[in-house]
Structure 1
Amino acid sequence: MSVNYYEPPAPHNPTQPGASKPNRAAPQLPPPKKRGAWSIFFNGMGAGITWFRNALMNTLFIVVLIIFIIAVSSSAPQPLPETFALRLAPTGLLVDQRSYIDPASLLLSEDDPEENETVVSDVVEAINKAAKDKRVTMLVLEPGRMLGGGVSKMNDIGQALENFKSAGKKIIAVSDNYSQDQYYLASYADEIYLHDMGLIEITGYGRYMNYYKTALDKLGVTIHAFRSGKYKDYLEPYLRDDMSEESREHNAQWINELWASYTGKIESLRKLPPGSINDYVNNIDAHMALTTGDSAKLALEKALVDKVVSRQDMEKMLIEQAGKSEEGNWYNGVGIKSYLADIRKHPKLEKNKVAVIVASGSIVDGHQPDGSIGSESMLELLRQVKDDEQVKALVIRIDSGGGSAFASEIIRSEVIALREKKIPIYISMGTVAASGGYWIATAGDKIWAQPTTITGSIGVFGAFPTLEKSLQKIGINTDGVGTTELAGTMRLDRPLSEKASKVVQMGVDNIYQRFITLVADARQQEVKAIDEIAQGHVWTGNKAKEIGLVDELGTLNDVITAIAQEAKLSSYKVEFVQRPLSPKEEFLRSLTQGHAGTFVPKSLLENFASLNVLNNLAPALKPLSDLQRMNDPQGIYVQCLDCVAP
């Protein structure tokens, strides 16, 4: 692009030789206009805004740079002591896969949102490595901030703790109080310490839920329900005000089996007489009266704990056994996170891989973040395995109560297609692998569960809410014309016609027949035999093995060991297959590895935290929120209402 500049002609000088008289007068430039006050004001304001914008961007850049430097420096693994105690302090819920958290949210959070969950495989890896690590002298279990996660997940950790003890190393559990789940995990320890004002809170398992029929009737909401399976009770809370006899029957069966497993394991580990835990719970009032209300003394007398001590004495006892920390007046302990960072500095250079894909959460259509099972998301993970020539075996870890029938089938068929790779594919059931979770499991060469896994629930339902009565209450009516009997049938503001109801029910029945047929084919049984144990009935893993729905019982580690033997792998590495992060997510997540959250003003965080008042509305909004998450293209689901870890 060319630019032409205007140059005024040189002034004419008639005295110069050869100068000729100009033909016309030279053009005169107009004098500059005087700038007004408003012009000066707005120009100054514009310049000020530009300066402020540049200064703000530069400041933000410097802050982000500082955060990045701090994050990188703080996330670098620190040298560990020559000897130390491994400190196991799980926080939040025990999970097979951490729920997705937006990296930007992690960056702005004052607290660490990742403490809401503890990944079981990380804990198991650390304990098993520590069992063989000469630097690790003992293990201190601090379960006081663990919220639960189910007996099956605690059994996974428990197996590793047993392995640790078999190496001749001691485990001590310490806490001010123990909840039901916390005490179960603590029972694996050689010694359990309790604060002298503490409590062992064991109450038993219960399955109670809210029923919304009367509330929905008052709101004028009509739930059109369709199901196949006598025990398929997912929709009962929307259709009744109490539990049906069928639901009560099979709920009582599996919940009592889990409770028997819970009490039996503790009595075995603590060497207590059979029935001790039930006696402690059912006669707690009489026992407390004998100790004048001293719950810690009662726990000691009943041999539930080994020592009742103050905080100060507890600290002294730990220092005596594990040594004193260089950082303060506390025992010489190294946390799981720091320990894993140290042992992972030199990854295992094995070519052969046993891949593990975690399928955790509700099964829904499309792409979904970690913590949910999206049909398209799972397909991408399965194709990663298919394209990796180093993968010699695959374990699919299922922890799901089901969801969309269509999404379940999309995933199942992709697992079947993966068999072209000619590698063994085993299913490992976690706390729950029922309904749609079991639908996916049928694609595996072998199905493994734990005795306390909740599985089965082979049944199908469909649901469709309409709001015509709600609208009528406020004076809104719907009317019009259509070209067919089904035109406009599936509108929320119109009642569902009898013809449409028949169509949906036939679709549900068809999916149920398809479900029991694929189960029969996978388990090499007659369809009639599967129908008898299906009907939406929930089973424990132990019972499921008896009736042929499961091949073997064992933890995830047991499954990995078994499939490696099946694939004839003498050496291998275990790789958890995960969705690759985008460059933006990688960068933001790297910032959160340090203490970036401390840069955010506390008052700002408190203002956002005050919005938690909305949580009070959760129970009232639950019926609508549950239905909103359902996105099956046909509105047909294989999902289990009861499949929740007690």
Structure 2
Amino acid sequence: MSSTNPGLIRRVLSGLWRLLTWIRTSLANLVFLVLILVLVVALLPKDAAQMPDKTALRIAPGGYLVDQYSYVDPLSQILEQDQERTETRVRDIVDAINAASQDERITSIVLDLNYLIGGGLSKLQEISHALDAFKQSGKPIYAISDAYSQEQYYLASHSDHIMMHPMGAVILTGYGSYRNYFKSALDKLSLNMHVFRVGEYKDAVEPYLRDQMSDASREHNSQWLNELWSEYTQYVEQQRELNVGGVNDYINNLDTHLAKQDGNPAATAKALNLVDHLFSHHQQREFLVDKLGKDEELDDYKALEYEDYLAFVQQEKLPEADKVGLIVAKGVILDGEQPEGSIGGDTLAQLIRDARDNDDIRALVMRVDSGGGSAFASEIIRQEMELTRQKGIPILISMGSVAASGGYWISMSADEVWATPSTITGSIGVFSAFPTIENSLEKMGISTDGVGTTELAGALRMDRPLSPLAKDILQQSVNSIYQQFLDIVATSRQTTSARIHEVAQGRVWTGRAAKDLDLVDHLGDLNDTIAAAAQLAELDNYDVFEVKKQLSPSEMFAKQLAGELAQVSHFASLSSSPLLDMLKSAESQFQPLIKLLNSGDPRSVYAQCLECVAP
């Protein structure tokens, strides 16, 4: 008996293993066949969609408002079909609204603001201008959201009917700028932060030198924050016909207002005329169905997504021979080649050359949305713009939410500089910083010693004290680049370096204040700047041609495939596989290293405004 049992057990286990292998192989083949089927279905030609005769335009921005989408490799787009939108391009929304205001097929706009996170007052204002023009056509605007953040409410204030859930709230807080300060922590860790800067207001490095905000930093940050908040409150009060100071009263006396409504924030908002209707989801849908008609197929109100509408409009438009080129410069300015969402000195310089060599481009607009970065990369970009101007191509700058420090530097080779009233700009100043850890190592019993052939050999080692000679060299380098910055601005603004120094020193200004100080030429949004560029080039009919980095053939195919797959709902379940989770984890581990490799400057001197973050 005992001699037969092992053979029987082996046969049973072997059979189970073969069964498991067959099941695993079959499932893998099945998944592969499903994937092939999905790809075939996605790539099959589809019937051309028809533009409805009468419909509302639904605008549901998701994530942050941006001037340019951050680069996501096409493979990730394919694998992450279920991810919520993290960015929405402002220009797409503005173009759709502007077209809809003149289109008799569009009866109204529905702003679904549930998914909007933020994006800065300047970008909100650009959408607001388009909404104002739409309202002048006599068509209504409806806003829906479970609750309203400060950014969401700014857009909602344009609506004829603002609807909110009975358990929602209008959350307004005002603008603020708060940072952590590390001086005491660095002292406890025996870390020495050597900072070299020019400008009393260049406070990007203050957190490493102090334990609290300096008086100079408090002064200039308070000024631009209060100016932006005044822009916000005045506009909302005008749209909602509130008393002057009504928004600040709502915030500063919220406890009193809540007490009158038994602590109910939704009822408080309605009582103060911040919203018009407190509706459940069902009531919101029924209200909109009554106003806009019913889509029987979707069992919802009749509306067309703005992305789909924009595609219809672009198909119907006849192309023009003359072009106004548009280049978007968004993000931190870094050296070398960089993907979209960051500004690479070499990448942006190549785009400017591409525009210069395109005979159809008669004028060029560069949209700047950057707090700066590498001074070296900023100058590479500015020089390329200067060469383009010398060829006789008008160049205009459109400043977005932020065009400060290095962002202002690259704006100084233009025929005209435009900013929105709420643009954050200026911050004309530079800094460099170098940490050393010799005291920390000493506490652990580690010392550094050796020999060198010159006074500078090993001078920039983090484990050695920074010598007086090295300190003097670094400070002189910063002083030199600051003077170069002043001279560039003075030449562009047709004034003296001494005059620019008075309003520089790292100080931040709003677009409106910058106009008064002659740091910019005009106030207006991107469309205003494009129109001005066409006028300079004497163009009556033109198209806007966006100059951007070209994808490789494989990237173009994968991107197209990703767009098609987004419409195939069965594919979404693949994005939760363990393999994809492992890939995402690996990607997150490498991101800090990638950012470190992308942050270099030959002289380690930066024209960047770290506090310039659009509120």
TM-score (norm 1): 0.87
Q: Deviations over 1:40-70 (max 9, x none)?
A: xxxxxxxxxxx99x99999888666434333
Q: Which residue number corresponds to residue 543 of structure 2?
A: 573
Tell me whether 1:632 sits opposite 2:606 in the alignment. no
Tell me whether 1:68 sits opposite 2:39 in the alignment. yes
Question: CA shift at 1:331, angstroms?
Answer: 0.4
Change in Cα spacing, 1:391 to 1:110, as seen in structure 2 (3 Å) is closer
Contact 1:71 1:590 in 2 (8 A): no
Q: Which residue number corresponds to residue 455 of structure 1?
A: 425
When Rg is computed on C-alpha atoms for both structures, the one with the higher figure is 1
Q: Name the aligned partner's letter for residue 413 of structure 1.
A: Q
Q: Deviations over 1:185-239 (max 9, x none)?
A: 1112222111122100001111001122233333333221100111001111122
Provide the secondary structure at the position in 1 that maps to 2:300.
Answer: coil
For 2:609 and 2:144, how far apart are their aligned partners in 1?
36
Provide the secondary structure at the position in 2 that maps to 1:249.
Answer: helix
Tell me whether 1:598 sits opposite 2:567 in the alignment. no
Question: CA shift at 1:611, angstroms?
Answer: 5.2
Q: Name the aligned partner's letter for residue 111 of structure 1.
A: D
Change in Cα spacing, 1:450 to 1:525, as seen in structure 2 (3 Å) is same
After superposition, where does 1:157-236 map in structure 2 within 5 Å?
Answer: 157-236=127-206
Contact 1:179 1:200 in 2 (8 A): yes
Q: Which residue number corresponds to residue 109 of structure 2?
A: 139
Question: CA shift at 1:584, angstroms?
Answer: 1.4
Q: Deviations over 1:588-641 (max 9, x none)?
A: 1112112375252524278459959989xx9xx9xx999775311100010002
Question: CA shift at 1:548, angstroms?
Answer: 0.6
Identity %: 50
Q: Which residue number corresponds to residue 517 of structure 1?
A: 487
Contact 1:144 1:176 in 2 (8 A): yes
Q: Which one of the candidate residues 293, 296, 299 is aligned to 1:329?
A: 299
For 1:74 and 1:495, how far apart are their aligned partners in 2?
68
Q: Which residue number corresponds to residue 99 of structure 1?
A: 70
After superposition, where does 1:493-642 map in structure 2 within 5 Å?
Answer: 493-593=463-563, 594-595=565-566, 598=572, 600=574, 602-604=576-578, 607-608=581-582, 630-642=599-611
Q: Which residue number corresponds to residue 612 of structure 2?
A: 643
Q: Deviations over 1:412-445 (max 9, x none)?
A: 0000001133121100000000000000111111
Q: Name the aligned partner's letter for residue 382 of structure 2.
A: R
Instruction: Return 5+ residue gaps in structure 2 as ranges.
Output: 1-21
Contact 1:374 1:407 in 2 (8 A): yes
For 1:93 and 1:612, how far apart are their aligned partners in 2?
25
Provide the secondary structure at the position in 2 that maps to 1:441.
Answer: coil
State which drifts further: 88-97 or 78-87.
78-87
For 2:211 and 2:579, how far apart are their aligned partners in 1?
41
Q: Which one of the candidate residues 292, 296, 317 is aligned to 2:266?
A: 296
For 2:202 and 2:381, how far apart are their aligned partners in 1?
22
Q: Name the aligned partner's letter for residue 277 of structure 1.
A: V
Q: Which one of the candidate residues 258, 276, 279 is aligned to 1:309?
A: 279
Change in Cα spacing, 1:625 to 1:219, as seen in structure 2 (3 Å) is farther
Contact 2:356 2:393 in 1 (8 A): no
Provide the secondary structure at the position in 1 that maps to 2:460.
Answer: coil
For 1:340 and 1:457, how far apart are their aligned partners in 2?
37
Q: Which one of the candidate residues 68, 73, 83 is aligned to 1:112?
A: 83
Change in Cα spacing, 1:285 to 1:67, as seen in structure 2 (3 Å) is same
Provide the secondary structure at the position in 1 that maps to 2:410.
Answer: helix
For 1:262 and 1:238, how far apart are their aligned partners in 2?
32
Provide the secondary structure at the position in 2 that maps to 1:418.
Answer: helix
For 2:316 and 2:123, how far apart are their aligned partners in 1?
28
For 1:392 and 1:321, how far apart are their aligned partners in 2?
46
Contact 1:95 1:119 in 2 (8 A): yes
State which drifts further: 311-320 or 325-334.
325-334
Contact 1:71 1:592 in 2 (8 A): no
Contact 1:67 1:591 in 2 (8 A): no
For 1:532 and 1:390, how far apart are their aligned partners in 2?
42
Q: Name the aligned partner's letter for residue 246 of structure 1.
A: A
Q: Which one of the candidate residues 338, 341, 359 is aligned to 2:311?
A: 341
Q: What is the root-mean-square deviation of aligned Cα atoms in Å?
A: 2.6
Q: Deviations over 1:391-419 (max 9, x none)?
A: 01110000000000000000000000011
Q: Which one of the candidate residues 354, 358, 361 is aligned to 2:331?
A: 361
Contact 2:203 2:217 in 1 (8 A): yes
Change in Cα spacing, 1:503 to 1:63, as seen in structure 2 (3 Å) is farther
Change in Cα spacing, 1:423 to 1:303, as seen in structure 2 (3 Å) is same
Change in Cα spacing, 1:321 to 1:182, as seen in structure 2 (3 Å) is same
TM-score (norm 2): 0.91
Question: CA shift at 1:467, angstroms?
Answer: 2.4
Change in Cα spacing, 1:119 to 1:377, as seen in structure 2 (3 Å) is same
Q: Which residue number corresponds to residue 88 of structure 1?
A: 59
Provide the secondary structure at the position in 2 that maps to 1:477.
Answer: coil
Change in Cα spacing, 1:579 to 1:134, as seen in structure 2 (3 Å) is same
Contact 1:83 1:136 in 2 (8 A): yes
Q: Which residue number corresponds to residue 318 of structure 1?
A: 288
Change in Cα spacing, 1:248 to 1:605, as seen in structure 2 (3 Å) is farther
Tell me whether 1:395 sits opposite 2:374 in the alignment. no
Change in Cα spacing, 1:385 to 1:200, as seen in structure 2 (3 Å) is same
For 1:554 and 1:220, how far apart are their aligned partners in 2?
49
For 1:308 and 1:612, how far apart are their aligned partners in 2?
45
Q: Which residue number corresponds to residue 9 of structure 1?
A: none
Change in Cα spacing, 1:414 to 1:215, as seen in structure 2 (3 Å) is same
Change in Cα spacing, 1:626 to 1:539, as seen in structure 2 (3 Å) is farther
Provide the secondary structure at the position in 1 that maps to 2:301.
Answer: coil
Change in Cα spacing, 1:129 to 1:224, as seen in structure 2 (3 Å) is same
For 2:246 and 2:186, how far apart are their aligned partners in 1?
44
Provide the secondary structure at the position in 2 that maps to 1:341.
Answer: helix
Provide the secondary structure at the position in 2 that maps to 1:447.
Answer: strand
Contact 2:79 2:575 in 1 (8 A): no
For 1:160 and 1:121, how far apart are their aligned partners in 2?
10
For 1:626 and 1:249, how far apart are their aligned partners in 2?
33
Change in Cα spacing, 1:308 to 1:601, as seen in structure 2 (3 Å) is closer
For 1:214 and 1:226, how far apart are their aligned partners in 2?
20
Change in Cα spacing, 1:90 to 1:75, as seen in structure 2 (3 Å) is farther
Question: CA shift at 1:474, angstroms?
Answer: 3.1
Contact 1:141 1:172 in 2 (8 A): yes
Tell me whether 1:436 sits opposite 2:406 in the alignment. yes
Q: Which one of the candidate residues 318, 321, 345 is aligned to 1:351?
A: 321
For 1:277 and 1:402, how far apart are their aligned partners in 2?
33
Q: Name the aligned partner's letter for residue 640 of structure 1.
A: C
Change in Cα spacing, 1:474 to 1:149, as seen in structure 2 (3 Å) is same
Tell me whether 1:410 sits opposite 2:384 in the alignment. no
Change in Cα spacing, 1:282 to 1:463, as seen in structure 2 (3 Å) is same
Q: Name the aligned partner's letter for residue 572 of structure 2.
A: T
